[in-house]
Structure 1
């Protein structure tokens, strides 16, 4: 018998059992139903002119946050600015009733910045000393490069330099002001002839996990500040005469203070601003200049969260998959099947392909409906949905289908391996469903990351729609839609599990009597 005829026979078995068909359709429908149901209320208002939530986007289209104390002058044409950063200090929130304590957030920043004007979200390039990550170059919010010397806070002071040549900005650092090392180079397309450049300081929200179980405990946090002690900058090129900033002056020591001008300085929260000293400037800032991520810089719902029904649909799929494969053994029909097809491995392969194929089609259709229309439903109910590229939407929809198909094939292999439907269903739930459930609820973050790296549930990473940024302190937990493996890494783990189970089932099937 040809393999196509075997596939047709297995398809006939699947579609003629009403319960299995209803179960697979129900799995798809529950994904759609939960994805199109406005389960949360928002504050953005209904669709209409001016009613949607406003968000800040950087020059490359990503959501960003742009909050710092920035003391600057204008530069026309090419030029450079060099400064000695004598020290970086800061204040952290406390969780024992006191307001603040001495300390630096790991990604507290103070340094030099060149940017396309002072509007929020403008293109920029910066070189900075950070709280725990040495000297860095960052540009256009999402790009981060570490300095060669890895200067840390204890290595203060440090000299920093930015050189603008056309639309290219080069960042350098020095330990003595004489010998310089390149930190990185950024190209900012469309950078105008006249830009702003100067000193800045900022420090992101600081959070501490009460314990490592996100659900059973919680996160305590608050704003932090960073203060950079800058000596007087040295400049080369056509610079304006006066320093400018929108930040409030703090106890000025001389009459020569920056005049008003547009910046991205915070107006509320911790006390921030600048102070001119005999040697230079003290610049204190709070906030961040970087990408905005879930849990760190604002709320909103991702397209991954619209697919919340995937978990319930997956439970149905593994039950149907295990029963589909084990039913023939319970009823003794496997003898007839193997008599018609003596090559038993082909039967197993056909079962896995039929179930996986049907599940993939239904899962893809359900995910496509949710990704396409679920966002509109949420927005119509005042919920802000974080934007995603078309490629990301396609990957999430196809990834959801691959997740369901792979787990369905895995369950079918367990059904052949264990022969008993109840036992196979229990095994499939323990192997596939339980790891994900525990990881998003009670497991500590490290244990959760390990579980989601070695079990079939790793394939849930296919649904991650927001990137993780090393330069943003955030609790990247599975409950918030972040996974320890990449999308394709998670798929590879699931593929290995499917291959191992199917090979094991094929071996046992050949060795045992029907």
Structure 2
């Protein structure tokens, strides 16, 4: 086998077209990625004025987050308990379709109202919150990315919900009750040090997604939630005096007033609090890493051409039979070709991704993007999986070349099962279900290696391939591609063996 490997490596190195194709693959991935980054400029507006985009706050885990809500609070330096009853949640949504000049009543599914302990009012600081939601029942959420479900059901005057957060040491326990007597534990979370504790209300944007060419469009409209609380009680070493009020994360207009402010009023022990925004990780903000790897799609077409030529040229000229005279077993020749080709394309894909991703990120940042840089371990993982994608596509094309035995039909078939499903899902305007299906059952599933940001069940966002989100995880997508490549190579090997008879 070592003689075969050496022979196939020698062939690969000495055929100029194969070497140039491999180099061209890496060059396309790098060149197109840098070109897109250099021509992408991010500008934000404040009123009618264009301003530099702000850097989003970072949560305790370093992830970019939204942290805007109305907060009625007091300091709690040590142990204590806050209890409240939520008696209603109402809201309004601004400019919903199709009449974009109206304001209608309504709550978005993840409208939130409840009690929260937070390390101050700085955006991104750690917190533990126990809340009622419009459509997802009671939840215990903490530090933006963690979400624990309590009992289902919405709040109303006839079905109020009691909430209680108890802090002992650094542990907070969230409990809920229908009557304030019998309590059910929702969950626990850790939050050390002095905190601000109190009531909060927030309301994410109302999101509507329209499928279309280029991935469609997503419209986000302002929503505001108003909640009514009573039976507010707080124990522990809290200072006397009134409650503090803060619109956390509020953005001032150019002329001073707060943009879409929240509010709080108290009368005879009944609190009415309104708020908008969200306490959640950023998600669905559009392509990030996927943009820096735009050249991957074109690069894979070159990979397919190189892989097909590596086998069909010899089959057409009968050179496989000559090689078989010195090393019997055409299937073994195919295996040696697969090893050499796979290693070369893995190296090309890995090196290209390792270079272009961090460099393009810095170019995008210089052009106004405020996405956080990928951590080095994530860049390493991404680069290796891009290399595996490149190698897997090469092996699939090699097997198709051995089966079809003609360069153009084999390359066309490989492009049809790898590149076209991806393009159809990303820019073809397919319905979301069809796009998800294509990226689960075709070799294009392996493009999932480009997803570097998680999709969160407690955040409604435009989780579509165009925005960098895929239905399978990276290793799941690579497994689908590996299955197709393995099957194709096995069938090709069987055909080559039969040709020996």
Fold agreement, TM-score > 0.5: yes
Q: 1:318 aligns with which of 304, 312, 317?
A: 304
Deviation at 1:137, TM superposition (A): 0.6
Q: 2:330 aligns with which of 323, 344, 348?
A: 344
Write the mapping of 1:59-458 to structure 2, written as runs, cut at 5 A.
59-93=60-94, 94-95=96-97, 96-147=99-150, 149-153=151-155, 156-188=159-191, 191-192=192-193, 194-210=194-210, 212-213=211-212, 215=214, 217-241=216-240, 242-247=242-247, 263-265=248-250, 268-270=258-260, 272-295=262-285, 302-442=288-428, 443-458=430-445
Find the aligned partners of 2:185 and 2:147 in 1 and give their Cα distance. 14
1:453 alignment partner, SS class: helix
**Which position in structure 1 is the counterpart of 2:4?**
6
The answer to whether the 8 A contact 1:68-1:266 is kept is: no
**Per-residue deviation, residues 293-333 of structure 1 (Å, max 9, x unmatched):** 242xxx7x633421111111111101111121211121222
**Per-residue deviation, residues 264-286 of structure 1 (Å, max 9, x unmatched):** 44654545311223341111110
**Which position in structure 1 is the counterpart of 2:489?**
502
Cα RMSD, aligned residues only: 2.0
Query: Unpaired segments of 5 or more residues in structure 2?
Result: 45-51, 253-257
1:494 alignment partner, SS class: helix
**Per-residue deviation, residues 124-146 of structure 1 (Å, max 9, x unmatched):** 10001112111111111111111
Normalising by the residue count of structure 1, what TM-score does the alignment of the two structures yield? 0.89
The answer to whether the 8 A contact 2:171-2:188 is kept is: yes
**Which position in structure 2 is the counterpart of 1:253?**
none
The answer to whether the 8 A contact 1:413-1:505 is kept is: yes
Deviation at 1:441, TM superposition (A): 1.0
Find the aligned partners of 1:397 and 1:217 in 2 and give their Cα distance. 29
Summarize the Cα distance change of 1:214–1:445 in structure 2 as closer, same or farther, 3 Å threshold: farther
**Per-residue deviation, residues 82-106 of structure 1 (Å, max 9, x unmatched):** 1111111211231213332121111
Find the aligned partners of 1:159 and 1:365 in 2 and give their Cα distance. 56
Deviates more, 1:29-38 or 1:401-410: 29-38
The answer to whether the 8 A contact 2:289-2:468 is kept is: no
Summarize the Cα distance change of 1:396–1:220 in structure 2 as closer, same or farther, 3 Å threshold: same
1:384 alignment partner, SS class: coil
Find the aligned partners of 1:351 and 1:127 in 2 and give their Cα distance. 59
Summarize the Cα distance change of 1:98–1:183 in structure 2 as closer, same or farther, 3 Å threshold: same
Deviation at 1:205, TM superposition (A): 1.3
Find the aligned partners of 2:244 and 2:303 in 1 and give their Cα distance. 62
Find the aligned partners of 1:508 and 1:202 in 2 and give their Cα distance. 64
Find the aligned partners of 1:363 and 1:342 in 2 and give their Cα distance. 32
**Which position in structure 2 is the counterpart of 1:252?**
none
Summarize the Cα distance change of 1:214–1:72 in structure 2 as closer, same or farther, 3 Å threshold: farther
1:245 alignment partner, SS class: strand
The answer to whether the 8 A contact 1:206-1:223 is kept is: yes
The answer to whether the 8 A contact 1:132-1:153 is kept is: no
Summarize the Cα distance change of 1:510–1:408 in structure 2 as closer, same or farther, 3 Å threshold: same
The answer to whether the 8 A contact 2:42-2:53 is kept is: no
Deviation at 1:337, TM superposition (A): 2.3
The answer to whether the 8 A contact 1:326-1:416 is kept is: yes
Find the aligned partners of 1:462 and 1:274 in 2 and give their Cα distance. 46
2:356 alignment partner, SS class: helix
Deviation at 1:233, TM superposition (A): 0.7
**Per-residue deviation, residues 384-420 of structure 1 (Å, max 9, x unmatched):** 3432222211111111111101100110011011111
**Per-residue deviation, residues 236-257 of structure 1 (Å, max 9, x unmatched):** 222233111034xxxxxxxxxx
The answer to whether the 8 A contact 1:302-1:387 is kept is: no
1:293 alignment partner, SS class: coil
**Per-residue deviation, residues 211-232 of structure 1 (Å, max 9, x unmatched):** x336374222211111111113
**Which position in structure 1 is the counterpart of 2:49?**
none
**Which position in structure 2 is the counterpart of 1:258?**
none
1:342 alignment partner, SS class: coil
Q: How many residues align?
A: 482
Deviation at 1:64, TM superposition (A): 1.0
**Per-residue deviation, residues 370-393 of structure 1 (Å, max 9, x unmatched):** 123222223333333432222211
**Which position in structure 2 is the counterpart of 1:476?**
463
Summarize the Cα distance change of 1:339–1:156 in structure 2 as closer, same or farther, 3 Å threshold: farther
1:233 alignment partner, SS class: strand
2:244 alignment partner, SS class: coil
Summarize the Cα distance change of 1:197–1:265 in structure 2 as closer, same or farther, 3 Å threshold: farther
